[in-house]
Structure 1
Amino acid sequence: MRMPGAEDSYECTLSPELQRYAFEELNEDPNRREEDVQAVREWLQKHPHLNARTDRRTILRYLRGCKFSLEKTKAKLDMYYTCKGALPDMFKGRDPQDPHLRQIIKMGLMFPLPGYDPEGRMVIFGRLGAWDPSKVRPEDLFKAAGMLFDTIFLEDEQVTVKGLVQANDMTGLTFKHVAVLPFPLIKKVSTTWQEGYPFRPKGVHYINTPQAFDALFNLFKPLMREKMKKRVHVHGSNIEGMHKYVPKTMLPAEYGGTAGTIQEIADYWLSKMDSHRDWFLEDEKHCADETRRPGKPKTVSDLFGGIEGSFRKLDFD
């Protein structure tokens, strides 16, 4: 559905250097950019099952994530909106002012660090053991994470070009956390994020990895692309091992950095989500309607590989 005037609202915020990088690395030709955006927009509007955003900013984000391959861009957009329709637990009720979601976001389980790493990439810091699995559903954690990703894309154009790095402190992770993450849910999340979002992930770093980390990582590893498996770095218990990838100027005070406290950074990003509340509320309608898809509708089994029958309950002492 076209929003009046939305197609003309985009203004490039990239420096000349980043525009040159986008041209060389992502095949973004300024002379052809508008033609490519329009081609994707027209394709979206021709498909009755997709109530998609057609603004230039959104389409350009996907083109960059797919290195301006029109076919890959179309496939990723179709997957994103299809997943949105198939996974209401992750995509319905995404109101930043919902008290439960606010509580999760304020915990500072995941947040972008200020600035960029030496390669110009955003760093997303995770504290994946800092939540109580008896009080918070993992589905709500993933919903909050998706809201954070959308806020990042709305706020920071550089991340669409240079990509991002994850840095995770696994302190506090237990087998109780792993036990509430059934494989079907892991598969749904991994498929949505890898196949539906225009991420450009460049590396994943872990510190303070307890025994439960191996169990959790072994759930995700089979679902990771081969190139990502090669970009995983485990640094043991020494934060110093991460410093050459994540400068101290970016790290929270709790990790010897100078970027403010975890709470200050988490609150900053919550305020950013609040500023985009209207966008989130309006965004709920943008999803696929399988009853209108030409040909055979896609089912959960089609999307996620029949995972409902593959779940084996984890039982830990």
Structure 2
Amino acid sequence: MYQDVFCGMELVRQKTYEEFNKTQESVSEDVQIIRKWLQTQPHLPEIMNDIAISKFLLLNKFSIENTKQKIDMYYTIRSLIPDMYDQCNPKLPCMKAAIDSCYCFLHPEVLGQSNRVYMFKMKKPNTYSQPELIMLVVNFFELRLAEDYAFHDVWILDLENFTLNDSLKVTPTIIVKTLAIYEKVFSLRPRTIHLLNTPSYISNILAFLKTLLRPKLFNRIHVHRDNEVLKEIFSDNILPKDYGGSGPSLEQLNGLMQVKLKEFEDRFDQLDQMRVDESLRPEKLVNNDILGFYGNFKKLDVD
């Protein structure tokens, strides 16, 4: 049914730009502003390409200053939390094992005008792997920087095979690091977060999330005891067969994602070598709340 993860992007791009009263010409002007700024930042390991710059502008609602901060952090964070980034290349054995343990993918169909759907489900109990599965999703962000124009996220996490033992691996440190990457680098744009087939022991994770997230964001988390809500989210023709629809199966959608990861193998190899040179940074990195893992992490905001 689908030949690629990112389908119909030209129409999505047009609708998204219209939402912010932007044209291709005005976006190109903003891109050049960022490009000139990048040329004054010798500590960064590369001059980001124009397409990726345009995606960072979009993620930050075309705020020039916010875009600068997020692009800087895109590179800087790899040194701030090396335990997350040093082993995240999809071709590594640990990552391959994590990928094989689950269905984890971006759905090719954009819902509404600009909602990109993430889907996740463990194939078998007691196979959840941290932080590899977190970094798999971070790698998806890399793909989106290259090809995706969807602005908002819809998260669907099917916890049917998520055991108590698996839940114990979701430590507060992992949660905070994950949220930091999501907000500090890629911004925070979830429309909704659906937890399907949710066991009672997830309550401890939710309780901790409530201490980190602002109420506006936390209230976007919806807990379901089954998966019937998927019939409200997807039309029948795109709802995966595993949930009673006539769309591609989870296995097919997962395979499509793995093909896309393979397509970007060279980029992941490049990223392995990219680190900032702090000795060349024009202005010292401010250590305010950036990745404040040890008790001073402020509540995450959301638009």
**TM-score normalised by the chain length of structure 2:** 0.84
RMSD: 2.7
Closer, same or farther: CA 108–179 of 1 in aligned 2, 3 Å = closer
- Aligned counterpart for 2:259 among listed residues 265, 271, 283: 271
Q: Name the CA distance, whole Å, in 1 between partners of 2:104 and 2:129.
A: 16
Matched, 1:245 2:233: yes
**What does residue 108 of structure 1 align with?**
102
Q: Residue 86 of structure 1: CA displacement?
A: 1.4
- Aligned counterpart for 2:280 among listed residues 265, 270, 292: 292
**What does residue 158 of structure 1 align with?**
149
Closer, same or farther: CA 58–130 of 1 in aligned 2, 3 Å = farther
Conserved 8 A contact 2:101-2:123: no
Closer, same or farther: CA 199–130 of 1 in aligned 2, 3 Å = farther
Q: Residue 40 of structure 1: CA displacement?
A: 0.9
Conserved 8 A contact 1:114-1:250: no
Matches within 5 A, 1:98-247: 98-127=92-121, 130=124, 132=126, 137-154=129-146, 156-159=147-150, 162-198=151-187, 200-237=189-226, 239-247=227-235
Aligned AA for 1:71?
E
Closer, same or farther: CA 129–265 of 1 in aligned 2, 3 Å = closer
Unaligned runs of 5+ residues in structure 2 are 1-7, 298-303
Q: Residue 13 of structure 1: CA displacement?
A: 5.0
Aligned AA for 2:251?
Q
Q: Secondary structure at the match of 2:138?
A: helix
Q: Residue 171 of structure 1: CA displacement?
A: 1.4
Matched, 1:14 2:1: no
Aligned AA for 1:22?
T
Unaligned runs of 5+ residues in structure 1 are 1-11, 311-317
**TM-score normalised by the chain length of structure 1:** 0.80
Q: Secondary structure at the match of 2:117?
A: strand
Q: Name the CA distance, whole Å, in 1 between partners of 2:125 and 2:144.
A: 22
Q: Residue 305 of structure 1: CA displacement?
A: 1.9
**What does residue 95 of structure 1 align with?**
89
Q: Residue 138 of structure 1: CA displacement?
A: 0.6
**What does residue 59 of structure 1 align with?**
53
Conserved 8 A contact 1:28-1:67: no
Identity %: 26
**Runs of 4+ residues over 3 Å off in structure 1:** 128-131, 294-299
Q: Name the CA distance, whole Å, in 1 between partners of 2:225 and 2:137.
A: 25
Q: Name the CA distance, whole Å, in 2 between partners of 1:221 and 1:80.
A: 26
Matches within 5 A, 1:62-81: 62-81=56-75
Total equivalences in the alignment:
290
* Cα-to-partner distance string for 1:166-218 (whole Å, 9 max, x where unaligned): 11111133332232222122111111111211453222112211012111222
